[in-house]
Amino acid sequence: MNPQPKIARRVAITGAGVVSPLGFGLAETLESLRNGTDCVTPVTAFSVEKTRCKTAGQIPDSRLLEGRQSGRRDRRLHRASYMVIAALDELWSQTDGFKPGVVMVGTTSGGMTFGERFYRTLENGGCSASLIANYPPQKQIVDALEKFGLDAPAQVIANACASGTNAIGHAFSSIRAGQYQRVLAGGYDALSELVFVGFDSLQASTPEKCRPFDARRSGMVLGEGAALLALEELESAQRRGAEILAEIVGYGISTDNHHLTQPNPDGSGPRHAMEQALAGADLTPDQIGYINAHGTATAFNDAAEGKAIQQMFDGVPISSTKSMMGHSLGAAGAIEAIVGLLALQRQLLPPNINFREPDPELRLNIIANEARHAEFDCVLSNSFGFGGTNASIVLRKM
């Protein structure tokens, strides 16, 4: 007897929450995208006197911590925990009856700031239990789940700058395969002095404006934030009358195996990830109406990604919204998935700001400096990271 073929379930987005330099929540984020707001500002969290780069995309503590309680537990929470709590609070307000079977989140530095403080206290002969308690990268999502009374198990994916997209893609694949009916997925990362100085030491950061895909691009700026999506098997969501914001239809991953920090210059890694995502979605390249590029504004990354895009697509509008908010590492893919969601809902092409001069080596349709209106049904979002890790997802309008 032949086994019954497995049915690929459809995956709906039924809730979304975000906090980033672009704003608190979907409405503020949309307004920043429409206006092409430059949300990169001089660093205030720590001294940048000895670094080349002096700016980052930052979330003001004056808003992030304004609802913090005076109890000992709340005082001990890392600001990254408050980012996740803010994102989950917005998502929670949109959903009714959404109880995730599992939580899948991406992050890179996790409690890195606490690690810095911990080692500095050791030098002075002291140690704080709160520093040790907050160091694990899963602490921030656990704090948020406790805040909302959720006890779902949490899976943390730390796969460089592809982490947030990996988490969403893994959640999508799990629902599609019937392993879970509902998954809470996303990513988070907070600005960390150790990471900031590290990128500056690599000369990957720029002392100038972040100009993805520009001929004279000179490097990235860091950012921070958190974003979460409520993902659900479509028929289940429809049965309970949930609002369907969009559908995730494809996910692709690849690894360059080329260099510790540089992508393969031939663009093969990004291309394979995008090809997989399109194949999983049963779409052709001409059906993609907008690409939210990884676009860090480093010479090597933009060249490799740009080459892969021009090999696959003909004139599709492209932008890197990192030009507006910086690169939030493990949170980037999750925040940019929400950018893609808003683009679909509002039929908006977000801008690639600070763009002055096209790269003569890249034939790309860059959405330069100002948002545009367009009619399209599908968005491709890319996230690529150190070690040649690549991830792409496809969202479709409902």
Q: What pLDDT digit, counting tens, does each position of 21-68 carry?
A: 999 999 999 999 999 999 999 999 999 999 999 999 999 999 999 867
Flag whether 1 is in a domain: no
Flag whether 112 is in a domain: yes
pLDDT at 74 (0 to 100): 66
Q: What pLDDT digit, counting tens, does each position of 281-304 carry?
A: 999 999 999 999 999 999 999 999
Which residues are annotated as catalytic? Answer: 161, 294, 327
Flag whether 43 is in a domain: yes
pLDDT band of residue 75 (cuts 50, 70, 90) is: low
| CATH number for the domain that contains residue 19 | 3.40.47.10
Flag whether 5 is in a domain: no
pLDDT at 76 (0 to 100): 73
Closest C-alpha among 325, 326, 304, 308 to residue 316: 308
Q: What pLDDT digit, counting tens, does each position of 130-148 carry?
A: 666 666 778 889 999 999 9
> What total number of domains does the chain contain?
1
Flag whether 3 is in a domain: no
Q: What pLDDT digit, counting tens, does each position of 238-281 carry?
A: 999 999 999 999 999 999 887 767 788 899 999 999 999 999 99
Write out the residue range of the structural domain in which residue 277 sits: 11-396
Flag whether 6 is in a domain: no
Flag whether 2 is in a domain: no
